Amino acid sequence: MLEELLKRRIIPVIVIEDAADAEPLAEALLKGGIDIIEVTFRTAAAEAAIGRIAKAFPDMMLGAGTVLTTEQADRALGAGARFGFAPGLNAKVVKHFQDAGGLFMPGVMTPSEIEQGLELGCKVLKFFPAAQAGGPAMIKALAGPYASQGLKFSPTGGITLDNMMDYLSLPVVSAIGGSWLATKKQIADKDWTAITNQAKAALARAAG
């Protein structure tokens, strides 16, 4: 799972209010060339949305975001999520997700949190909130002492089409997470064409 995840450089971070939007949203991303999605547990529809995507698109790399508790971890995995992200590092949640066979990437901002993540066996850590925590310059500074451990970062927060390459150009960054790829308004408006076009534009930018 980790090997496959590391091949994807752009991860859409999704907030779904209505589970019925899950399939057309996933299809829009797939049409744009992105076969990975992180559905955040910021809404009551998250679990159902994950389940619907898992059933309709079993080959899509499907993950859950904002997994804050072991209960949410169980719901995410039970619905079909194969990986999980969190904004912070909760050792209990990390271990719970890992013990269930899932890949988990907790959020970090400091060297101490990074070392906790490494101790838990996490080789990819979410750097959040990326822009507010120092952006590419901070990640580059953190890479110095930890890159030798095989660590990769997946920054999220304040990343856009215009600045994404500032992050992806860093060898220690495996992928970026972006909510701009499918905004809450676009999902509510069912503007699937715009989402497909945004996915295409992001992939084109990443390819240089």
Q: Does pLDDT of 208 surpass 90?
A: no
Q: How far is CA 18 from CA 45, 47, 57, 67, 93, in A?
A: 6, 11, 18, 19, 26
Q: Does pLDDT of 22 surpass 90?
A: yes
| Active-site residue identified among 126, 184, 185, 200 | 126
Q: Does pLDDT of 1 surpass 90?
A: no
The answer to whether residue 119 is catalytic is no
| Active-site residue identified among 4, 7, 27, 38 | 38
Q: In what order do the strands lie in the sheet with 124-127?
A: 107-108, 124-127, 152-155
pTM above 0.85, yes or no: yes
pLDDT digits (tens, 9 = 90+) for 88-134: 999 999 999 999 999 999 999 999 999 999 999 999 999 999 999 99
The answer to whether residue 126 is catalytic is yes
Q: How many residues does the chain have?
A: 208
